Structure 1
Amino acid sequence: MTVRLRLTVLYGLLFLVSGAGLLAITYLLVAHGGTSVVMSTQSRSRLGETVTTYVGVGEPAGLTEALRGLAAEQQAAIMHRLLVQSGVALAVMVAVSVVLGWVVAGRVLRPLHAMNGRLEAALDSHRRFVANAAHELRTPLTLEHALLEEAVLDPEATVETYRAQFAELMVASEQQARLLESLLVLATSERGLDRRESVDLAGLAEKVLVRVRGERPGVVVEAELGSAWTTGDPALVERLVANLVDNATAYNVPDGWVRVVTGTEGAFSWLSVSNSGPSVPPEMVEQLLNPFQRLDRTAGDGHHGLGLSIVRAIAAAHAAELVVRARPEGGLVVGVRFSVPVV
């Protein structure tokens, strides 16, 4: 039995019980209200006119048995008619109350159903997130265990082999550190902002581009940085810019390019990052914004599929508009639009 049906039955039962109680009280009051008999006598006046005289008596002592029986029959008929008509009216009103209860229950439960759907979706997303995080953390831990086991069980291990294995352990440890840092940033940005300061998207982008040009000299980085001030958490906004630029350079093609543009238009400051790269199916664009989603499912490249999900969380925390679209030639165009601070 659905919740709506249960509420409808409850409404109907409550109305039936209250209506039956009201009917019983009315019936008892009428039944014990006493017998009132009206007697009439007719006589002629001296002028020849007929005069009728009415006399009301509560329980006349001189009333004949025949009149008593007639009065009792009339009262019984009245009570029976009252009971039948009241019962019919109660049945009709119970049916009406059931219909109204069904309608009211539907309206009451509609927002609850919507809220329940959102909660189930959030719980499913949380479960997938935890499962993916556990999977991503298990991979470097398994690698570390294998490297340590190999070092312990190898009787011919030398200093050079130890150093090589330790170097691999350091790489795996760095991957874990980056993953944990990304998870922490994601959780922090989803929680909301603790502080707001004036930040310039152009300044943050320039800072990020200086680092990227030194790390990835094989990618041509173009910039058109106009003043774009907004308010927010400087560390989170810088992380947003860094994630967009890092993704654009990491998921690229040989001799590819990245273009970063900032500016102000009306009441909004905006940042746009576009790149060459592998072709992205349009239906995959929305999925790439979810945690642990990668266009290439090959693991071990140091990327965990958290970059764009962190961007979306940071944009949502700043009430910024995030637009992502796939370029027909390959790569993505990602735009983020912030509100301009009121002076």
Structure 2
Amino acid sequence: MSQRKIIHVDMDAFYASVEQRDQPELRGRPVVVGGNPNGRGVVAAASYEARRHGIHSAMPAWRAARLCPDAVFLRPRFEVYRAVSAQIQAIFRDYTPLVEPLSLDEAYLDVSDCPRLEGSATLIAREIRTRIREQTGLTASAGVSGNKFLAKIASDLDKPDGLYVIPPEQAAAFVAELPVGKIHGVGQATQAKMQRMGIHTGADLRRLSLLELQRAFGSRARFYHDLARGVDERPVRPSRERKSVGAETTFGQDLTDPADMLDRLALLADKVAASLERRRLAGRTVTLKVKYHDFRQITRSLSGDPVQSAADIRTRLPALLQDTEAGRTPVRLLGVTVSGLVTVTPDQARQLALF
């Protein structure tokens, strides 16, 4: 079997960079895209100038304003971001039909069978980044390797505007030095459990047998066993049949105010709506996910006519939130998912928006 060639492309500070492109007077200045800093909004994206002050996504906007009083705060323009994303996706598909978008600003590409540039994934990634800059005025970072796991890690190693390659023959050695928190699928709770077991790096994880991993991590054991050796057989899936579209975020500090929670949920609704519209989908069921400070997790759902817009999703969230312990029990994570998906034409989407 021939070696796969996988590229992960990740736009640099995408929303904020689009705003700096469209408003040249903002270039070089700290820009924050998100909610009102005088209210309970949150940061959706921050330019690199803002990140130097410690600002990051999902941070309360008021806190970002305190960290950087000179920051420029802007409301998101998702219709513009979607249009730019479509330009970028078109570039990707010039090289391969095997494109798996993860969001508006990142995607996997399998270029194993691409004949261009003598089949060099590194040269293809370099050319893609050049074309993105020329056609959109924006920069992208890319990672190249033999699988999705390593390509995604690589794209983050030379940001912004960088290209990093992890050759397949170096995969195992690279993962050996990797902190376990950087391994795909290892969340905060799993990372804490691994560290209690003395597992801090890929090399530590590799020392455990598959049986030992199964005892500790159950069905995820084989996945961790393979990743610790730099192995990831997941294919790039350009047309996965989706059963749901969702977004969630974990907070640095537990939330206690339901009004604050609704503001955070509104931003998640925007992300879900953008994903639904891009895929020409609508959904009949809106589900709220809540994880409390003690790690208890619950979901609440409402079904009805298909929804696609952020406004329609948001209308269902207050009732769902009211049916939880929000306001009485601190909340560490919130998520919004739309399921019961149906495909809609552009005309149907406009009708949904009207009604």
- Tell me the TM-score normalized by structure 1: 0.20
- Tell me the TM-score normalized by structure 2: 0.20
More strand by percentage: 2
More helix by percentage: 1
Greater Rg over alpha carbons, structure = 1
